[in-house]
Amino acid sequence: MLHMPLRPLLRETYDKQDSASIPCRVPGRGDKVVVIGCGKSGQAACRLLAGKGARVHLLEAKEMDEKLKAEMESLGCVVETGAHTKEQFADADFVIPSPGVPLRSILQTMGMPEDAPLEGGQGPVILAETELAYRYLAKDGQQDGPKEKIIAVTGTSGKTTTVHLIADMLCAGGRTATLAGNVGTPLSEYLLELENGKKRVDCIVVEISSFQLQTCLLFRPDVAVLMNITPNHLDYHRDMDEYVAAKLRLFACQTERDKAIVPQEWSAAYNAAGFKAREVEVRVQHLFEETQLLGPHNELNAEIAWEAVRDFVSFEDAARAVANFKPLPHRLERVCEKNGVLYVNDSKSTTLTSMEIALKSFERPVLLLCGGHFKGGDPRELVPLVRERVRLVAGFGDSKDIFMPAFEGIVPMQWFPTLRPAVLWLQGQAREGDVMLLSPGTASFDLYRGMAYRGADFKAIVAEICGL
């Protein structure tokens, strides 16, 4: 729920940075560019910028792998590790922040106010890696943007499955497409591939987060998709208002020629903001009869994907892509079924909303595994659903003090320090017809390096107990 009138919030957000008044500036030879973070996007940005002749300074708070550090230095990058200081940003022309570093903390380190403009003010230009790559593509394209069609997807949940469905539909229809953004391939990588002789694609499908959108000023997708907005990343964003404003920035630069796919519950917000693109609402129409995907939410994801590509491919091509599409790892992933018990890995469930979606995907009794680094929300709102769908709850890791008061007494529940004993406890009480569901509703960083490691651990434990 927003805490202030939506239109004032959005007008304040977008009027400060009117895209029409911002030149499409990109780092050039001799410009000092500070890149914060040496993750995939930071590495790709460094490689791209070094090739453009920029003076790149790579800042990483943690110790770097020596091989990676040597590679970055071989490109001419100045590499500094440890806590960031104001002096490191002196005379910088551009700053490319890691998506994992809150914008307000960067501005604070630079000695700038939180409401400082990202471009055109007293400090350097601050651009997301996605925005940086987009600007280079736009400079190389037509007057109104890149040569490639850009389809961008944001939202709290469902993004990754939807962008993969979009790409598969495009390919089924004979279009060339590439995935970029949060799916693991920075948009800068695409530019580097072009420079190495790879052919351009027809469409770039971008999964983009609120972190990235916060520092996007000119990014203009031909098709922009908002899946949903529910409380998330409130350990990163100042509040829900900031999170919503970042998500809706996806539409800020679109024109009347573009398409905006907006869920019904956010249509009023879209119109209140004064965005220009043609708005399309998607409701489930049960279009695709053949699918391997679990749950009604995936039915909606497929129909959203179809709406995103219907100007480029036929429905028959889209339907064939859906029929052949296999669930992605860690997203309601069917692990196995043994002795009548279905084991499902939904480690990507890092919010209470995604846990809710997972629980609604099964008519069978659920043995729920939850717990980890809590990101916000109130699990008590799930009590009616838990009472209806869940037979047992096994919690593990952090957030015991959050889930136990909410669910204890509703269903039988126990808490464990790690995942393995939690799985074994549920296994000992499983019955034919049950679903053992790993849908933690939390981040994984209390016990694992990431959600994929948590999911892999679950699958390994299941393989062991099921004799696979």
| CB count in 10 Å sphere of residue 454 | 29
**Residue 62's CATH number:** 3.40.50.720
Q: Give the pLDDT band of residue 235 (cuts 50, 70, 90).
A: low
- 23 assigned to some structural domain: no
Average pLDDT across the chain, whole number: 90
Same domain for 448 and 399: yes
CA dist 240 and 236 (Å) reads: 10
Judged against a pLDDT cut of 90, whether residue 321 lies above it is answered with yes
Q: Give the pLDDT band of residue 238 (cuts 50, 70, 90).
A: low
pLDDT of residue 16: 44
Overall average pLDDT of the 431-438 stretch: 98
Structural domain range at position 119 = 28-126
Whole-prediction pTM: 0.82
Q: Are 225 and 151 in contact (CB under 8 A)?
A: yes
- 72 assigned to some structural domain: yes
Overall average pLDDT of the 225-237 stretch: 69
Judged against a pLDDT cut of 80, whether residue 180 lies above it is answered with yes
What domain count does the chain have?
A: 3
pLDDT tens readout for residues 417-433:
999 999 999 999 999 99
- 275 assigned to some structural domain: yes
Q: In this structure, what token pair is assigned to residue 97?
A: 């922040």
Same domain for 146 and 111: no
Q: Are 336 and 429 in contact (CB under 8 A)?
A: no
Let me know if 289 is exposed, middle or buried by CB neighbors in 10 A (0-12, 13-18, 19+): exposed
Same domain for 418 and 290: no
Half-sphere exposure of 10 (CA within 13 A, CB side): 19
At 414 the three-state DSSP class reads strand
Judged against a pLDDT cut of 60, whether residue 412 lies above it is answered with yes
CA dist 392 and 413 (Å) reads: 6
Judged against a pLDDT cut of 50, whether residue 120 lies above it is answered with yes
Same domain for 458 and 351: yes
- 20 assigned to some structural domain: no
Picking from 264, 301, 280, the residue whose alpha carbon sits closest to that of residue 157 is 301
Same domain for 122 and 136: no
Cβ-defined contacts of 6-12 (< 8 Å, 24+): 6/268, 6/269, 6/272, 6/273, 7/272, 7/273, 7/274, 9/241, 9/244, 9/245, 10/245, 10/248, 10/269, 10/272, 10/273, 10/274, 11/273, 11/274
Give the whole-number percent of the chain exceeding pLDDT 90: 73
At 101 the three-state DSSP class reads coil
Judged against a pLDDT cut of 60, whether residue 233 lies above it is answered with no
Same domain for 359 and 316: no
**Residue 214's CATH number:** 3.40.1190.10
